[in-house]
Structure 1
Amino acid sequence: MLLPLTPPPPPPHKYAWGSPSLIADLEGRAPSGTPEAEVWFGDHPADPAQTPDGRTLDVWLSEHGVRSGAPSHLPYLLKLLAAESPLSIQAHPSIAQAEAGFAREEAAGIARNAPRRTYRDSNHKPELIVAVSDEFRAVVGLRDLAATRRLVTELGDGARPLAARLEYADASLAAVLDWVLSEAAAAEVRAVIDAAAGATLPNFSAELDLVRSMNGQFPGDPGIVVALLMNLVTLRRGEGLFVPAGVLHAYLSGLGVELMAASDNVLRGGLTSKHIDVDELLAVVDARPGRPNVVRPRAVAPGVERYHVPVADLALDRVSVTAGQGVEIVVDSATIALATTGTLSILGGMTNGTVTLRPGSAIFVTPDEGRLTVTGYGEAFLAAPGLRLG
């Protein structure tokens, strides 16, 4: 079955960091006049998509017996994400950490929608973001320690307290994060921000521009110094960024297709007015320096490229169709297709008739379709459970 999906009203999510135009431009409509941040296509209970008969996708899946898992029937959640300003710096737990944290907060009687609640479900949340705009910017993971030492040392006296904590050969970035996020360090952290905002360093000009921008939006926020310790990444259109459990990250600007495990567990580390549990963040965060995991798709069939990620919850393909040349796709699991350009016609292996997709529209495909034939012209992303490493 090919089941058209629409986001629940009123879409999109209007978070303050959202873009006033990127989603509207993709969908070919006038902007709403407010920031538009996310459109969800999935069955997560926090915001399930709707089917043509008015049922939500989670109800439809339950009634049709299509897979079961926690917290959703589908193991993944597909989104459009549009950022005009930084999201909160955050990390997500592993499955074991999520299960333990969820059980602990349930036993403590903390309401699942309480502002101080951290674990809203028992699942992990690895995620993949693919740039749909020409550029998509993010900070992700902790930078190589030698490069960070050079940056902080060149900031001069104002950053000396931070430099002192980084100078040892066995410097613990977890301990540095703990200090940055502590109330006791507030004055010294503001001095670091001021030093970075006023500095001119040719080798770190983009990082310092980011500090100045963040300080204009979040004056004195310790998350600015956390971001200063992280890798700054610019994705080009079609490139992906995979963020596994424990890796600090914050999306900064751009439009992307985001695919994640079906979870709403977020541990924040700055650039937000929401609850920050520093102890729990540090228990979850991977404080080892490392390079960002930039994922470039590889061709797996004519017109089909795959983003390979090492988790069983999700797999993402990009389908490119040119006029007069169709693309054949094998479907062996519950799949969501989301169009991002052009006009595409989808014919299922078991379905009479076609469904037309235009940018921003999506369909759910049941596994019994077996095969899809995509004609027309444009681009679509197909989300499904992983591991599809072929």
Structure 2
Amino acid sequence: MSAPGVLSGAIQPYAWGSREVLSRIMGVPPTGEPQAELWLGAHPQAPSVLLRSGIDRPLNQVIADDPIGELGADVVQTFGGELPFLLKILAVDQPLSLQTHPTRSQAQAGFDSENEQGIALDSERRLYRDRNHKPELICALEPFTALCGLRPPDSAAALFESLEVAALDPAISLLRAGEIAPALRWLLDHTPESGSIIAQQVVSACSKPGPYSEERRWAVYIGEQHPGDIGVAIALMLNLVSLKPGQALFLGAGNLHVYLHGAAVEIMANSDNVLRGGLTVKHVDAPALLDVVDCRPHEVPVQTPTGPCFTFQAPVPDFRLTRLELAGSRRFAPGGPEIVLCASGRVRVAGHEITGGQAVWAPAEAGEFEMSGTGLVFRAATGA
């Protein structure tokens, strides 16, 4: 019978990561290098390591050897024998790339097309590294700031007009006509040289006092990190959202976004498909991004916990995230596999003691388990 075990995550040293946050959460000395993400899951790119009965093994191999015992029959039937979610801690010190993620059908078509073209999975030109969609939900551990979802066209036009940058006039005209997609395409179609000129003018205008003061401040910050990148203008077309600790956002397929700063727990479908439009040294493919971006104006509903145990809304079957302020002892009877993450404090889960940044894998076959201690805990499970 499959039993719970301690799960060790894989740290991703992306350049935008903090040099302090993950070390502080995990109670270890800083390495001096950026530590952007702690991955907890079975993604083949960086699977977690499961310690069970004194033996370390990658979680994806453990699941492959006994998918029914680890995931349960329902999850195997629905998701083909793979853990459908990936849990992360993000530590954002610099803006991430301007990005979006595909639907499942878009990912399947893109993955197959790139295979037919002979683009290697580890190539920097590869956009689709798997055949899965990538909806995501992010819950702030510390104050967290993001740009996400396109503003209504009149709102974006008014912001651009307030900058008094004549070079943006064609985009403003399109936005005033309600044409969000053409305005976005017009910005992305610029050459690096002409885009750099517009970007510099936008950042210069944002450095001056005026309306939309917070958006201006963040645009200057983005411009300092990515000088001459037209993405700084596109970022101003997005909604600025500030999360307090405990608050969360759900981002569906096609939602254009930029994470700016802060620490958070993130859960997503088990995918690494990212389409980038700027603000990065990685491969940018503007036409591919335009093929999948959702150009409808997006409201950004912020979810706020209403009690010490709160499950966030995520309208997908791949995952569910519950935030728990634990003080004492509770018993749980999950209906499938879970990753239980301790974000702070010290807790005991299914007989295993964990602290900040550590997690326990609770397989479907293990059944009911007890959780005790004092700390902030996140339970990641399927949403089916």
TM-score, length-scaled by structure 2: 0.92
Contact 1:193 1:225 in 2 (8 A): no
Looking at structure 2, the residues matched to 341 and 258 of structure 1 have their Cα atoms a distance apart, in angstroms, of: 15
1:342 aligned residue: 345
1:282 aligned residue: 290
Looking at structure 2, the residues matched to 245 and 298 of structure 1 have their Cα atoms a distance apart, in angstroms, of: 27
Shift of the 167–26 alpha-carbon distance from structure 1 to 2, 3 Å rule, reads closer
Residue 307 in structure 1 maps to residue 315 in structure 2: no
TM-score, length-scaled by structure 1: 0.90
TM-superposed CA distance for 1:368, in Å, is 2.6
Instruction: List alignment gaps of at least 5 residues for structure 2.
Output: none
1:205 aligned residue: 213
Instruction: List alignment gaps of at least 5 residues for structure 1.
Output: 348-353
Partner-residue secondary structure (3-state), 1:203? coil
Partner-residue secondary structure (3-state), 2:278? coil
Residue of 326, 331, 339 corresponding to 1:328: 331
Partner-residue secondary structure (3-state), 2:49? coil
After TM superposition, list the pairs within 5 Å mapping 1:1-390 onto structure 2: 1-8=3-10, 12-52=11-51, 53-65=55-67, 66-67=70-71, 68=76, 73-133=82-142, 135-170=143-178, 172-184=179-191, 186-187=193-194, 190-191=197-198, 193-199=200-206, 200-298=208-306, 303-322=308-327, 325-347=328-350, 354-387=351-384
Identical-pair percentage: 36
Which letter maps to 1:82?
A: A
Q: Deviations over 1:340-367 (max 9, x none)?
A: 11111123xxxxxx11010100010011
Deviates more, 1:195-204 or 1:75-84: 195-204
Contact 2:125 2:283 in 1 (8 A): yes
TM-superposed CA distance for 1:289, in Å, is 1.2
Looking at structure 2, the residues matched to 202 and 375 of structure 1 have their Cα atoms a distance apart, in angstroms, of: 51
Looking at structure 2, the residues matched to 185 and 177 of structure 1 have their Cα atoms a distance apart, in angstroms, of: 16
Contact 2:267 2:380 in 1 (8 A): yes
Looking at structure 1, the residues matched to 182 and 80 of structure 2 have their Cα atoms a distance apart, in angstroms, of: 33
Q: How many residues align?
A: 371
Deviates more, 1:38-47 or 1:22-31: 22-31
Contact 2:197 2:228 in 1 (8 A): yes
TM-superposed CA distance for 1:101, in Å, is 0.8
Looking at structure 2, the residues matched to 329 and 238 of structure 1 have their Cα atoms a distance apart, in angstroms, of: 22
Looking at structure 2, the residues matched to 3 and 157 of structure 1 have their Cα atoms a distance apart, in angstroms, of: 58
Contact 1:79 1:257 in 2 (8 A): yes
Q: Deviations over 1:77-120 (max 9, x none)?
A: 00111000001010000001011111111111111111111111
Contact 2:346 2:373 in 1 (8 A): yes
TM-superposed CA distance for 1:186, in Å, is 4.5
Contact 1:87 1:250 in 2 (8 A): yes
Looking at structure 1, the residues matched to 27 and 50 of structure 2 have their Cα atoms a distance apart, in angstroms, of: 22
Which letter maps to 2:383?
A: G
